[in-house]
Amino acid sequence: MEVEIGEKKFRLMITADEIALRVNEIAQKINQQEWPEPPLLICILKGSFMFTADLVRRLQIPHSLEFLQLSSYANNLTSSGEVKGLDSFSVSVQNRPILILEDIVDTGLTIESLRNHLLHQGVVSVHVACLLFKPGSFKGSILPEFCGQSIPDNFVIGYGMDVAEQGRNLPDIYVLENAN
């Protein structure tokens, strides 16, 4: 199955059923984690909103939820390396365990920047959960503890992820054609 957005063609990579299985596995691991107190879950917008919605419905632990819009892609297919939006919290994070929720960990620079910012704010701990991880493009030092699936270093859309704000609505995940 393929989708076309503008002049770009994408082929099916991960079905909605496979995504649901991965989200269930991540939720089980988070539920089994020892938390000193209910964690603050930070959903990184915009791409993580579907992952977050599905994940929190499966969590059995007490938690609270914050949304944070960060950007390092703009409308490009690769990260600029510059993370914008770190100072947008509407709640105090001090003395709290944090669980960052990411749709995809690519270079790792976004979560590394956010983690460093949170540690300066006095959080107890910072953990990362992601649906997808690209080990081939990873440049960070913070690996996600809760990860659904590793994928090749190719551009993907669907399930909240987009190309120039298009494709977020797709229930499956698609990879850019001609990607290995």
Residues 4-44 have pLDDT tens digits of 998 999 999 999 999 999 999 999 999 999 999 999 999 99
**Amino acid 136: pLDDT:** 93
Q: Other C-beta atoms within 10 Å of 63: how many?
A: 16
Selected from 3.40.50.2020, 3.40.50.2000, 3.40.50.150, 1.10.3720.10, the CATH number assigned to the domain covering 2-73+85-176 reads 3.40.50.2020
Element (H, E) at 143: none
Domain range annotation of the chain: 2-73+85-176
Within 13 Å and on the Cβ side, how many CA atoms surround 172?
13
Amino acid identity of 131? L
Q: What is the mean pLDDT of the chain?
A: 89
Task: Report pTM.
Answer: 0.88
Q: Which residues of 15-49 are buried (b: 16+ CB within 10 A; e: fewer)?
A: eeeebeebbeebbeebeeeebeeebbbbbbbbbbb
Spans of the chain, pLDDT less than 70: 71-90, 179-180
Query: Residue 9's beta-bridge partner residues?
Result: 4
DSSP-derived secondary structure letter, 39: P
Residues labelled catalytic: 106
